[in-house]
Structure 1
Amino acid sequence: MKLDLNLLRVFDAIYTARNVSRAATALDLTQPAVSQGLTRLRNLVGDPLFVRAAGGVVPTARAQRMAPAIHEALHALESAVQDSAGFNPAQAERVFRLHMTDIGEDQFLPRLITTARLRAPHTRIETMRVPLDDLGSAMDQGRVDLAFGFLPGLKSMRSAILFQDRYIILMRKGHPFAQRHGARLRTLDAVHTLDFITVRTHAYTRTALEALDAAGRVQVTTEHFMALPALIEATDLAVIIPRNIALSFEPRGRYAIIEADLPRREFDVGIHWSHRYDKDPANRWLRGLALELYQET
């Protein structure tokens, strides 16, 4: 079977867009040209690959199996070509893939996207959440360009510190506890008088309470940080979270930040990348941009 690389690009674009017209726009081709390419690919593999659905198309089981390998192969080829030619941000056409949590997207994405669009207008940014056990191999394979956050498990990766953070206790501004203790907790015994929220995707929100023998004070567990503002405003619950996240909530003026000598409360937030891409021009450019925007000096 002889495969035209352009047919794989057509497949990847349709799989991503789930719509032939949008795929044509992304590829800067006409819709008939994309449809013709899809027909050729269907004949080559002996499968319809995509079937009509409301608003566009959906992949067949065969297409679902093919998609990850094709996506990774195209990304590897893009990286190889750009590596040999250098990286000119003003002209480069490149998709950068970043590992970020939901709160990472909130903290990092707005400024990163705004600046990248100005300096590298033909690049795109995609975020994803890769299980930590798979993140190192994903970066080695080029499926993830950079990982943002506090990721002590990535010991085999290169990294650079963006800023230091620490955990605090957050609650609503009118909480009786905040009015009684102020902005600094003198003794951690007082923690046992609070009821807490924990965040399933951020283990420290619970492990800190376990270390303080206060796990029994957990009343609510939520999946993500973004649910916290409404929960805290409406209840007398508290949460242990990074101070920078708390500050992102604080402009609403409805929260009390309480400093406390929590166990292992200080940590570094950084960017992480694979040794294999340490000298990759595009990766180096993106790292430099992240350091410029977020590194504390």
Structure 2
Amino acid sequence: MNIEKIDLNLLRLFDAIYTRQKISLAADALGISQPAASQGLTRLRGMLGDRLFVRAPGGVRPTPRAERLAASVRNALEILSQALADADGFDPARTQRLFRIQMMSDMGDERYLPKLMREIEQCAPGVRLEVVNLLQDNLSEAFDNAQVDFAFGALPRLQGCNMQPLFDDRYVVFFRKGHPKLWPLNGTSPPVSALQALEFVAVHAHADTLRIVKLLGLESRVRLITQNFLALPAIIGETNLCVLIPASTARVFNHAGGFGTISPDVPLSGMTISLHWSRRFHDDPAIIWFRQMSRRLFAKTPYQE
């Protein structure tokens, strides 16, 4: 069909429905009534010759045609939004900008999002954040396609983008208070040989923990592989298992006490947590503002809270 027949508002409606998978929520997000949203969807269906969305439990689900259109529509809207923002200048207090950010572990949500949202609430109340989950190998392309604006984490293999180091971190062994073998060593840096008699949890979503265990020859000592960090305090607190995690994460988990750490000199123990973004959008005023804010909030050692 001819693009001249497409109303930009219909594309915004399509993106809102696709994102929220519920027409009423899409209508609320766009500030229109649900009947108006339904009428707009009917028009778009007629123009494209496809149902686009079908009823499903709790809302609607996209058709294959809608799935194929979704990324292109979102990218087009984002590019247009950025172009209009450039033309008007960037005012944090007035912008309605959406930033898509990638956290390289579930702990990133807990570490970065509260401070980001507090700062945004105070100085840029119209700004919205969306956390995305992309494979590291796809990030460079996603940056340049405006599918993601920033990534927080230790990403030494990521190429083709700009970065700002935020702080240095290191892996430590995390365990419960009273652990029969580790508690007497709490706060020390024992030799790596001290790990040979321990039993471990490994975190599947954080590949370095598995690599370190393998390099130390401790694979047979792994009793549990979990998908994320947030389950660790409950698991470690109830068992004699221990886990290799970043020191900044251990500090968050131990804010109320009840746990300890040791710092053996394990392979791959050091890392630099950085903010990454697209070279293509480096000079975008909104991108400059966000990275300056992030540097102000996080560019320090994780122990200077």
Which TM-score applies when normalising by structure 1?
0.96
Match of 1:273, as an amino acid? W
Give the number of equivalent residue pairs. Answer: 297
Query: Secondary structure at the residue paired with 1:142?
Result: coil
User: For residues 54-108 of structure 1, what are the alpha-carbon distances to aligned partners after superposition, in whole Å with 9 as ceiling and x for unaligned?
Assistant: 3332222221221121111111111121123221111111110001121111110
Determine if the alignment matches structure 1 residue 65 to structure 2 residue 68. Answer: yes
Deviation of residue 185 (structure 1)?
A: 3.4
Give the share of equivalent positions with the same residue, in percent: 43
State how far apart, in whole Å, the 1-side matches of 2:112 and 2:153 are. 10
Determine if the alignment matches structure 1 residue 216 to structure 2 residue 216. Answer: no
User: For residues 102-161 of structure 1, what are the alpha-carbon distances to aligned partners after superposition, in whole Å with 9 as ceiling and x for unaligned?
Assistant: 111111001101211221111210001110110011001111101001111123211111
Asked if the contact 2:54/2:60 (under 8 Å) is kept, the reply is: yes
State how far apart, in whole Å, the 1-side matches of 2:67 and 2:204 are. 29
Determine if the alignment matches structure 1 residue 178 to structure 2 residue 189. Answer: no
Determine if the alignment matches structure 1 residue 161 to structure 2 residue 159. Answer: no
Query: Which residue of structure 1 lines up, in the alignment, with residue 243 of structure 2?
Result: 239
Correspondence list, 1:120-135, <5 A: 120-135=124-139
User: For residues 220-240 of structure 1, what are the alpha-carbon distances to aligned partners after superposition, in whole Å with 9 as ceiling and x for unaligned?
Assistant: 111111111111011111111
State how far apart, in whole Å, the 1-side matches of 2:118 and 2:133 are. 21
Determine if the alignment matches structure 1 residue 28 to structure 2 residue 43. Answer: no
Query: Which residue of structure 2 lines up, in the alignment, with residue 10 of structure 1?
Result: 13
Query: Which residue of structure 2 lines up, in the alignment, with residue 54 of structure 1?
Result: 57
Determine if the alignment matches structure 1 residue 277 to structure 2 residue 281. Answer: yes
More displaced 10-residue stretch of structure 1: 241-250 or 73-82:
73-82
Match of 2:45, as an amino acid? R
State how far apart, in whole Å, the 1-side matches of 2:248 and 2:56 are. 43
User: For residues 239-266 of structure 1, what are the alpha-carbon distances to aligned partners after superposition, in whole Å with 9 as ceiling and x for unaligned?
Assistant: 1110000001002312111121112311
Determine if the alignment matches structure 1 residue 42 to structure 2 residue 45. Answer: yes
Q: 1:150 aligns with which of 130, 150, 154?
A: 154
Long gaps (5+) in structure 2: none
State how far apart, in whole Å, the 2-side matches of 1:168 and 1:69 are. 43
Query: Which residue of structure 2 lines up, in the alignment, with residue 103 of structure 1?
Result: 107
Query: Secondary structure at the residue paired with 2:130?
Result: strand
State how far apart, in whole Å, the 2-side matches of 1:251 and 1:90 are. 34
State how far apart, in whole Å, the 1-side matches of 2:218 and 2:58 are. 50
Correspondence list, 1:83-122, <5 A: 83-100=86-103, 101-122=105-126
Deviation of residue 31 (structure 1)?
A: 2.3
Which TM-score applies when normalising by structure 2?
0.93
Query: Secondary structure at the residue paired with 1:48?
Result: coil
RMSD: 1.4
